[in-house]
Amino acid sequence: MKLSHWAKKQGITYRTAWEHFRTGKIPHAYKLATGAIIVPDDQDAEWIKTQQKELVRANKGLRRLRRKLDSLKDKE
């Protein structure tokens, strides 16, 4: 399916989807000679798993940062 259709299915903007394609975050997506970007249908589930893993990593980083900030406040 075209990247624009895939972006709508994912609930993100085309620009965000294009950025994901550009940075290689959409496995097996490819660009045709005409310039159209194609995302194979089976990539939806894999992309969601990838995004969930990134969110988990981000949350862990935020928790670590909060603990660090709290410890700095306690030192004051």
pLDDT at residue 45, as a whole number: 65
Question: CA 31 to CA 29: how far, in whole Å?
Answer: 7
The reply to whether the predicted model has a pTM over 0.75 is: no
pLDDT at residue 17, as a whole number: 97
Q: Which amino acid is at 40?
A: P
CB-based contact 17:7 (threshold 8 Å):
yes
- pLDDT per position as a tens digit, 54-74: 878 888 888 888 888 888 888
Supply angle C-alpha 36, 40, 42, rounded to 5: 160
- pLDDT per position as a tens digit, 1-49: 999 999 999 999 999 999 999 999 998 898 999 999 999 877 666 777 7
